[in-house]
Amino acid sequence: MDIFKKCNTFTGFKEAIKRGIYPYFPVLNAGQDTETSINGNKTMMLGSNNYLGLTSDERVKKAAQDALAKYGTGSAGSRFLNGTLDLHVELEDKLASFLNKDGAIVFSTGFQANLGVIATIAGRNDYIISDKANHASILDGCHLSLAKLVRYKHSDMDDLERILKKIPEDKGKIIITDGVFSMEGDICKLPEIVELGEKYGARIMVDDAHGVGVLGDCGRGTANHFGLEDKVDIIVGSLSKALASLGGFMVANKEVTFYIKHIARAFIFSTSVTPADAAAALEAVKILEKEPERVKKLWDNTNFMREGFRNLGLTLGNSMSPIIPVMTWDDNKTFAIGRKLLEHGIFVNSVVSPAVNKGEAILRTTYSSTHTKKQLEYALEIFDKVFKEEFGEVVSEESSHVG
């Protein structure tokens, strides 16, 4: 059989393309800010992870430009050999200090951070207990590790304990959870997870890609938000969201960090992040430390939109973060509504299965501290127009299943 047969017979999304409602791979003609340009049209961005608006901050851009001028365009090697710059070390020291750990490693991407950490720390005779809603990079890292993977129902602490009870005491085990879940926007039940981890002798790892810059004191993340930094063993995060750059990182104690940086294949066999990326992320962390009001403004905007959506009668997911999913349930309806919003100058993310469960499609909306009230009020007007005038109804849970 031809191994390419699956490619030649792949029909997914072709109907959406035919109907002109295919939402993926939109081409931006401008940078990631509260407003951008898509296909040459001015567009308000309600689908970016630029939570603090730092991708267009002049200080961050200047830091990247200065690093480009000093170090050139690339690092030209892995960290293990010739690719470690003083910028990388300074960034790691800053991340460790910011997140109150004594060791850090910067990876080339957030995806690689999860692959590298999980595949290195968990081995064939160990157990990984992972939330079913965790990010795909966590799942891939679990498979790569060869450890025994057991997934518990999303944020179901009874199911987590049921699983932990069955694992032999002499086996190594680690509970892995997203801090803020990237589609649902809810926050993990970290106090309960920590309690169960201590009860059954399991280590705790939190992927805080959507928590750093969003939750906690000065945006220090989920563990800080709950006052449990000393109880979480490993925090993995991203430089490409609130920190306005590209890359990933982990923080932990020095022994764990030292081990991973010498063993993790995703780290030692990858070229290090570019000088400009490292400098931009470093400057973003410094700004976050100095300007905690950015986090407050982010939450002001988030709460304004959540209340606004509810006043429109829209059904929202169980979000507790600046990720607010608007329920649309049906895949094609999601694509159609997303296209109509874009025609009115509003970009959101159309999310369908398998990223969410079948029949639970959403418009994933996200917010920035730099959105203005005027922009958000306009966005609510357009949502109201599209959902009511264009479709003749508000898409509630009841109406979504009619016909």
Q: Could you give the residue numbers annotated as active site?
A: 182, 210, 241
Q: How many CB atoms lie within 10 A of CB 94?
A: 17
Side chain identity at residue 44, one-letter code: M
Q: How many residues in total does the chain contain? A: 403
Q: Are 169 and 201 in contact (CB under 8 A)?
A: yes
CA-to-CA distance for 110 and 205, rounded, in angstroms? Answer: 14
Distance of CA 366 to the CA centre of its chain: 11
Q: How far apart are CA 251 and CA 103, in angstroms?
A: 6
Q: What are phi and psi of 276, to 5 degrees?
A: -65, -40
Residue 349 contacts residue 339 (beta carbons within 8 Å) = no
For 230, 299, 382, the CA distances from 149, given in Å and listed in that order, are 25, 35, 44
Residue 335 DSSP SS3: helix
Q: Under a CB-based contact definition with an 8 Å cutoff, are residues 315 and 325 in contact? A: no
Question: Which of 2, 218, 5, 250 lies closest to 116, judged by CA?
Answer: 250
Give the sheet arrangement for strand 41-45, strand by strand: 35-38, 41-45, 346-347
**For 206, how many CA atoms within 13 A lie in the half-sphere containing its CB?**
32
Question: Helix crossing, 275-290 with 293-311: angle to 10°?
Answer: 80
C-beta separation of 50 from 368 below 8 A: yes
Q: Which residue has the tokens 């179901």?
A: 156
Using a 10 angstrom Cβ sphere, with 0-12 exposed, 13-18 middle and 19 or more buried, the burial of residue 326 is buried
CA atoms within 13 A on the CB side of 128: 28
Look at residues 69, 67, 68, 88 and name the one whose alpha carbon lies nearest to residue 78: 88
Query: 255-275 b/e with 16+ CB inside 10 Å = b?
Result: ebbeebbeebebbeebebbbb
Helices (H), 20-83: 58-71
